Structure formats: C-alpha cells, structure tokens
C-alpha cells in the first residue's frame, strides 16, 4: 500500500500512485501520466518531510503523491554572491551542513531543520527576528513543473512574489536558487523571566536582539525567553554527551514524562506546568547558527499558529493564555517576530510587522476545542494562519486577508488551468481553479 502519514500522525493518505522522481524530467513525466481533471481524479501533490499539520499533502485515493527525497543535490554554489542552486527535495539540515562547508548559511531558520526546502518555502516557514523575513524571502529563482507538465524558470519579481509561498498549488518545485549569508556563529541565551516584565518591554526585547522569542506555559507567570545574537569567533559546540543531556534528556525526556502524566491525569496540568517552569534553568550556547536555531522535537504534538499585526500580540497572548487555562494543555504557547514581508503575496506577514502566536497540544489530548477557541480569539485580531499548521479557514475567509489574493489566483489559473494540484485540502483554502481557466488559455 502507498501509505503516507504526517509527523503528528493525524493525516494519512493512500494514493493510487506514489512516485519518487529523480529529475525534473521525471517530475514532468509523472504529471503528464496523471491526467488532471480538477474533479478529484488525477490530483497530484508533493509530500516534503510531512511536517505540516494542515492537510495540504493528502490526495484522493485515485491521486498521485510525489516524493522528491532523491532530488537533494546541490547544483551550484557561488560563495561571492551567496547564491546557491539546489534541488528542491533537499532537507534543511543537510543543506545547512553543505552550506557550512562552503562558508555559507541560512540567514534565519525555524526551530527544527528536518523539513524539505520546497516544503518549508511553500508554507511560509519562519524563524524569529523582528528585522528578518521568513525563509522564502531569500528565494531568487524557482524552477517548477506546472499542471500541464511544462517546466518554467521563474525569475521575475512578479512571478516570484506569487510563487514563493504557493502551498504547492502552482506546480512541483524542482530547483531553487537561494540567497545565503556568510557562515556565522550565534550566541543563544535561554532565560526564564517574569512574564509581566517581558510583556512590558516586549518591543525593546524584540527590536534589541537579532532573534528574540519566548514560551509561556498556561497557569504560569514566567516567560521562557530565547535571545540569539551573532558573535565573532568560532562555534563552541557542547560535547555530544552534554548536547544529548540538554536537547534530549531534559528538553524532551523530562518534558515528555510530564506530558504523559498530564494525559493520564489532566487535572494535574496546572501543577505539572508550574513544576516544568520551576525546573527550567537558563543556558547559553555558542554554536553554528543552524545548530542554535534548531533542536530535536521528540515529544509529538499538534499545533496551530497565527500571524497578527505585531501591535496586537500582547492582547492576543493574554486572551489566548486565559483560554488555554480553561483546557488541559501541558504545552507552552510560543511568541515570535517577523518583519513585514512583501516578498510573497501569500506570506502571513505580508504588509505588516508581524508577531506569531503558536498554540500546541500534546498528542492524544483533546486539541480541537482549545485550538478552535484560540482561533476565534485570533480572528478578532485579524489573524492569518500559518499555512502548514492547523486552522479552520476557507478561501472565503482568507481572500479578504490578502491584498494579493487575485494576483496569486491569476498565476494559479495560468500554471494549473485544470486543477491538477487542487486536492480537497488545497481547494478548501485556495478555492477551486476558476472553471474555464483551461479553455480561456486555449482560446488565447
Ligand atoms: C515539530 C515541528 C516544528 C516546526 N517548527 C516550525 C517553525 O519553527 N517555523 C515554522 O514556520 N514552521 C514550523 N513547522 C512547520 C513546518 O515548517 C511546515 O509545515 C513545512 O511546510 C514543513 O515542511 P515539509 O518539508 O515537511 O513539507 P510538507 O509538510 O511535506 O508539505 C508542505 C507543503 O509543501 C508542498 N511541497 C513540498 N514539496 C514541494 C515541491 N517540491 N513543490 C511544490 N510543493 C511542495 C506540499 O505539497 C505541501 O503543500 C514545524 C512543524 C513541526 C512538525
């Protein structure tokens, strides 16, 4: 059976065909084999690393799923300009290692690095940094195979603005040219601080560091802050045993135990959360940037993340935390910052300095009532969802939130006139490809 399952285990798909192309030509052939019709049959989707919580990957039972794991080569590196051409299936971690060999690095990353490059870009994956844009903003060219099997090299800013964050709805991205920065060392300081103190000086904290974020457990009044800044000099990585102790045994092991207890006895959540926060001590790391940004996530959860105008984040966090305290939630909420991002029409940070609020729930504990309640609160603040995380929006509710919606749809009609990539999950959030798009194109 061609079974596919996402990281959280909540989404499954059993496509009629699961193909593993090794080249752009093989991608084009796979698309040509699956006659697109827009009505369910012939739908083609790509699975990256399966780290999205939203149902963008699953196809109907008669559909085709492509995995680009074998398309993971570095094609060209220009150290002087920082421009790097790679195949789209490469994982962020492997790419970071290869970039480091060439003295280069991602400008910024999220808190894991196991995603595929194309998957991370397609959903607007971001890290934190009030002056920095998400990963996709550094894409300067994209090669993609459209819904008719034709290959395009997108280089104009107009096309790229539509295609950087595409949800995989414009085509199968096969190669990416990425602007990288010289390799750098980060000093990462994790420090528990009184929540009210952090909220009172949030602008200074967010603007005063290259990367600032914090976590808050429901039922606690502590912000677990993380502040990362560049430093001169080489990395001073911890010994493997220490890294294991910090990243695996403490962060994931002790926390995982608390989560299992919470799942068995939800009434213990307030006490467990307070204990975890009391145990949280500060730590400082000086390491290669990607190793400070990303850490292993071994405790499985489900997640929703919303993007709001940064001016609203304190009010949103207060309301969402109060809501979380009405449910048994042994996971922290997370606040991050991103600069206004006009590099992509569908970037959740489009047009406004943005703060993200992520809400998590431990695997196997009731998530939907909690997440839906926070969703409704966030809606009151004009939130846009992270495309790769859980949300209950539809094309109708999303279109008015994006000034560039129509421009995106115009390119979509051009590149996917028959709805080859419009799986039910994609059609829900982007709508169906306009009826007649194919005929209109043919008539031109
Ligand atoms: C533990 C965990 C931590 C996370 N941390 C962060 C974080 O810090 N910041 C953040 O912003 N997000 C975070 N995420 C979300 C994650 O970065 C995104 O959901 C990302 O899209 C996952 O990449 P993937 O390779 O797994 O893609 P998938 O989930 O497999 O696919 C995502 C989308 O990309 C499309 N796609 C994949 N490859 C291609 C291609 N070649 N061409 C066209 N479309 C393609 C898919 O069809 C789908 O629409 C996290 C998720 C998890 C599970």
Cβ burial 386-409 (10 Å sphere, 16+ → b, else e) = bbbbbbebeeeebeebbebbeebb
User: What pLDDT does 38 receive?
Assistant: 42
Contact residues for 396 (Cβ-Cβ < 8 A; gap 6+): none
- Is the pTM higher than 0.85? The answer reads yes
| Interior/surface letters 51-62, b for 16+ CB within 10 angstroms, e for the rest | bbbbbbbbbbee
Instruction: Give the pLDDT band (50/70/90) at residue 436.
Output: low
Answer yes or no: is pLDDT of 243 > 80: no
Residue nearest to atom 51 of ligand 1 (CA): 51
For residue range 321-377, list pLDDT tens digits in order: 999 999 999 999 999 999 999 999 999 999 999 999 999 999 999 999 999 999 999
Q: Over 80: is that where the pLDDT of 440 sits?
A: no
The pLDDT mean for the chain works out to: 95
pLDDT at 39: 43
Q: Indicate the pLDDT class of residue 1, thresholds 50, 70 and 90.
A: confident
Residues 182 and 155: their CA atoms lie apart, in Å, by: 23
**Bigger pLDDT: 302 vs 1:** 302
Looking at the predicted structure, is the pLDDT value of residue 272 above 50? yes
Ligand 1 binding residues, C-beta < 6 A: 7, 45-52, 56-57, 68, 88, 110-112, 115-116, 118-120, 122-123, 125-126, 167-168, 172-173, 297, 386, 388
CA of 239 to the centre of ligand 1 (A): 30
Mean pLDDT of 214-227: 98
Burial pattern 87-102, b for ≥16 Cβ within 10 A else e, equals bbbbbbbbbbebbbeb
Task: State how far the Cα of 303 lies from the Cα of 316, in Å rounded to an integer.
Answer: 17
* pLDDT at residue 122 greater than cutoff 80: yes
The answer, yes or no, to whether residue 285 has pLDDT greater than 50, is yes
- Residue 170 CB-density burial (10 A; 0-12 exposed, 13-18 middle, 19+ buried): buried
Give the Cα separation of 123 and 429 in Å (integer).
Answer: 12
When pLDDT is averaged across residues 106-116 and rounded to a whole number, the result is 97
* Alpha-carbon distance values, 41 to 38, 56, 101, 418, 432 (Å): 7, 16, 44, 11, 14
Quote the percentage of the chain above a pLDDT of 70.
95
162 close to 144: Cβ distance less than 8 angstroms: no
Best residue among 22, 108, 123, 176 to mutate for probing ligand 1, ranked by most atoms within 8 Å of CB = 123
pLDDT classification of 34: cutoffs 50, 70, 90: confident
For 444, the 3-state DSSP assignment is: coil
Which residue's CA is the nearest one to ligand 1's atom 1?
A: 297
CA 443 to ligand 1 centroid distance, Å = 37
């Amino acid at each position: 059976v061609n079974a596919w399952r996402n990281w959280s285990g909540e989404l499954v798909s059993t496509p009629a065909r699961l193909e593993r192309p090794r080249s752009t030509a093989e991608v084009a052939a796979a698309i040509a084999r699956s006659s697109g019709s827009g009505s369910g049959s012939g739908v083609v989707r790509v699975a990256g690393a399966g780290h999205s919580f939203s149902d963008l990957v699953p196809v109907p039972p008669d559909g085709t799923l492509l995995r680009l794991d074998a398309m993971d080569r570095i094609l060209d590196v220009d150290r002087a300009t920082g421009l790097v051409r790679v195949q789209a299936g490469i994982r962020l971690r492997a790419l970071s290692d290869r970039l480091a060999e060439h003295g280069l690095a991602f400008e910024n990353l999220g808190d894991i690095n196991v995603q595929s490059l194309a998957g991370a870009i397609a959903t607007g994956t971001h890290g934190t940094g009030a002056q920095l844009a998400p990963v996709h903003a550094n894409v300067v060219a994209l090669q993609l195979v459209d819904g008719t099997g034709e290959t395009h090299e997108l280089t104009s800013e107009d096309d790229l603005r539509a295609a950087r964050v595409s949800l995989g709805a414009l085509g199968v991205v096969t190669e990416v040219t990425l602007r990288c920065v010289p390799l750098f060392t980060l000093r990462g300081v994790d420090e528990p601080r009184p929540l009210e103190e952090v909220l009172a000086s949030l602008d200074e904290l967010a603007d005063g560091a290259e990367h600032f974020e914090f976590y808050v457990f429901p039922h606690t009044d502590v912000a677990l802050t993380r502040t990362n800044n560049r430093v001169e000099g080489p990395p001073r990585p911890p010994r493997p045993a220490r890294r294991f102790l910090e990243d695996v045994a403490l962060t994931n092991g002790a926390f995982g135990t608390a989560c299992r207890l919470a799942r068995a006895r939800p009434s213990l959540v307030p006490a467990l959360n307070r204990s975890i926060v009391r145990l949280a001590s500060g730590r400082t790391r000086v390491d290669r940037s990607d190793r400070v940004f990303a850490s292993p996530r071994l405790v499985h959860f489900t997640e929703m993340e919303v993007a709001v105008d940064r001016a609203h984040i304190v009010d949103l966090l207060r309301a969402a935390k109060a809501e979380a305290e009405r449910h048994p939630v042994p996971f922290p909420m997370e606040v991050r910052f991103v600069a206004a991002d006009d590099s992509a029409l569908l970037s959740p940070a489009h047009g406004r300095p943005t703060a993200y609020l992520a809400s998590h729930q431990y695997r196997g504990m009731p998530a939907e009532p909690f997440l839906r309640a926070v969703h409704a609160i966030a809606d009151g603040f004009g939130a846009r969802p992270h495309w790769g995380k859980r949300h209950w929006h539809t094309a109708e509710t999303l279109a008015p939130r994006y000034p560039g919606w129509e421009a995106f749809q115009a390119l979509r009609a051009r590149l996917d006139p028959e709805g080859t990539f419009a799986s039910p999950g994609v059609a829900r959030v982007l709508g169906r490809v306009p009826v007649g798009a194919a005929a209109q194109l043919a008539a031109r």
